[in-house]
Amino acid sequence: MLSLLQKSDQSAGSLAPAWHPNFRDHERLPDTKVVRTQFFVNFVAIAVAACLLLYFSYQEYRINSLGHQVADWQAQIDTNRKSSEQTVALAKKFADEEKKIDELNGFLKQRLVLSQFLQHLGNSMPPNLAFDIVDVRDTGVDLRGIAAGTPDEASGHTSAYVEQLKQDKALNAIFEDVVLNRLERDQANGRLTFDVFLRFKGAGTKK
Amino acid sequence: MAIDIQDLVVLWKKRPVAIGCGVLSLVLLAGSYLRSSRVGELGDLLKQKEEEGQKILDNIGNGSGLAKQYESLTATTKDLESRLVRSSERARNQQYFYRIESDTGVKEVNLQPVQAGATAQKGPKTLYTGVGYTISVKGDFRQILDFLGHLENGQHFFRLSSATVSREGQRGGPDASNAITLTLNLELLGLP
């Protein structure tokens, strides 16, 4: 009876997990994964280093290339500098001479060539009008004279002449306005006197 | 948590490739950082040299034929300057008007030099100056036109300030004539 009891105790004991100390040193045991961790670490480290090396090399290549380009330009500048300086000095002299021509052009720039103007007036003047004074000023030309005929005819001749002056293409190029300033009878001889003003283009306010 | 040399040696022995690559990466990063400013500097310098070089090349290019043009311009200005009057040479200047008077047949009524200040124009300083004169001459219409033509196309450069052309005498009166009086305020271009 006792042995039966003991036997049953033995069968119960064989079912319990067998305990023993684990002496395995995981640090020294080989990595049993399909791809070792070491491979990944090395791969990443080499990839990063390779990328940086490429970047650094490219940067150095650019520095070298820029340095060469700077040196090339400097050599070209040194070669051409003297010639350029001579050209600049000559251009300055040229500009000084040019100033003289510009000044002369400015001096000779006139609104009116008087001889041509008088000749044009003489040729285009109607037979029943006569000038007493032609006065050329900064702002324009004042024409004063007399008109022949009765007052009615004379005033008609004068206004027709003013209209003719306004339509005159040659005068239109010089004058912007033609105004009859005065038309009155001369008490001494009974003739009608007129005063026509031709204002230069851009001469400012009207008379 | 302090890492001593022994730990580093252990780490080096364990992953020599990774540690080596890491150290190399650090060195390359530091190098790139230190040299990066040099790229910018050289880029700016190159731009500056390119501009300077291009300007010099342009100067040379634009200057081709300039010497010949300058020679021609100088000859022209020399010729023009020989036609200028001198404000100090009053007698010679008046002689110019008298010569035109005798050439055209007009009769000189009045010839007066104008004070320098009266004709001086405000503005930037000029190389030349206008030498002013007031001149009155009498003659018939043809003579007056001839006189004006001589002045306008004469040896000296002429500029008209104002002019008055008036008929002589009373119209229809006993002193009526074909005579015309021309009064000019003018300037001859001259050297100060």
Which ipTM value was assigned to this complex? 0.71
d(CA B76, CA B70): 10
User: What amino acid occupies position A195?
Assistant: D
CA A153 to chain centre: 61
Partner-chain residue, chosen from B18, B160, B161, that has the shortest CB–CB distance to A41: B18
pLDDT at A51: 96
Checking if the pLDDT of B50 tops 90, the result is: yes
Instruction: Label residue B172 by pLDDT band (50, 70, 90).
Output: low
Evaluate if residue B21 carries a pLDDT over 70. Answer: yes
A vs B: CB pairs below 8 A: 180
Global pTM? 0.69
A3's tokens = 């042995």
Q: Work out the number of other CB atoms within 10 angstroms of the CB of residue A27.
A: 6
**Among candidates A44, A63, A112 on the partner chain, residue whose Cβ is nearest the Cβ of B38:** A63
Mean pLDDT of chain B: 88
Q: Name A55's Cβ contacts closer than 8 Å, sequence gap at least 6.
A: B28, B32
Residues B157, A107: C-beta atoms closer than 8 Å = yes
Per-position b or e across B124-154, b if 16+ CB within 10 A of its CB: eeeebbbbbbbbbbbbeeebbbbbbbbbbeb
Which candidate from A46, A90, A94 shows the least CB-CB separation from B17? A46
* Chain A CA closest to residue B31: A56
DSSP element (H, E) containing A32: none
Nearest by Cα to A178 from A163, A156, A157: A163
Mean pLDDT within B141-157: 93
Q: What's the pLDDT score for residue A207?
A: 46
Q: Which of residues 76-115 of B touch A (CB under 8 A)?
A: 76-77, 80-81
For a pLDDT cut of 90, what percent of chain A falls above it? Answer: 57
